[in-house]
Structure 1
């Protein structure tokens, strides 16, 4: 008589689940992350376009002015419009009060001296030095963009 012996093996664990396809929860997480990234990208693009439109508004109005005195007047008008976003009555300030408002929050006053005088009364002068207007423009542009919330 032949006796057959059975070879018994130990209990086997099932194989680990494969990593693909992921469970539905991982798909939802991936979609959520993609939605957040798309929303953030949309927000950044919108912010950049807004900044470009505001900067183009400033540059367009100043460039459209025919004379240096008209350019100073345009810069002053734009600054006063932007100042209303800080204080509702800021556009009504005059002379020293307006200069103090312009230099608010600055460690060094930037609108003092000749450039400050040019900004105050340059729009009313008959002749204005174009070089001084060129020096004043970046200061006014930076303050305008800051007050419009772009810096």
Structure 2
């Protein structure tokens, strides 16, 4: 065969595949990502609703009582929540109870406004500012305990 007799033609590159529609594998990837995002959104929504319910339950315990009754109700709610983390925690007393409530957060109960839980339920007059500070600290710890944070 004579090489000079061969007819040479230009090489034509085929058209590149179009962007749309994607290959079936990409549809599977998109579906997995969409389902994951939907599941995470639903999970976060349920966590937020549960936290709101817990906060409402904590606040409802001390709505129409005297200051001493509010402190006692806070302590009672904290003891109930503590049982979720440690079944023996509700039997702690005094400094051991306050140290348990401190957890890893510092000393908001043993040396801070949460110390009101020790004797606030027995006082005749509790200053409103002291009660508000203790309520804020107790509410935050209550939500942590209900979430399972020791």
Displacement, 1:38?
0.9
Distance 1:92 1:24 in 2: 60
Spell out the pairing of 1:46-65 with structure 2 (5 A cutoff). Answer: 46-63=46-63, 65=64
Q: Distance in 2 between the 1:135 and 1:143 partners?
A: 13
What's the counterpart of residue 91 of structure 1?
90
Could you list the runs of 4 or more consecutive aligned residues of structure 1 that deviate by over 4 angstroms after TM superposition? 113-117
Distance 1:95 1:111 in 2: 11
Equivalent-residue separation in structure 2 for 1:121 and 1:27 (angstroms): 63
Distance 1:51 1:16, change over 3 A: same
Q: TM-score normalised to the size of structure 1?
A: 0.80
Report the structure number with the largest CA radius of gyration: 1
Q: RMSD of the alignment, in Å?
A: 2.4
Q: Distance in 2 between matches of 1:127 and 1:117?
A: 15
Q: Please state whether the residue corresponding to 1:85 is helix, strand or coil.
A: helix
Does residue 67 of structure 2 align to residue 68 of structure 1? yes
Give 1:120's aligned residue.
Answer: 118
- Determine which of 140, 143, 146 is the counterpart of 2:144: 146
Q: Distance in 2 between matches of 1:17 and 1:116?
A: 67
Identify the range of structure 1 (113-122 vs 124-133) with the bigger mean alpha-carbon deviation: 113-122
- Give the drift of 1:106: 4.1
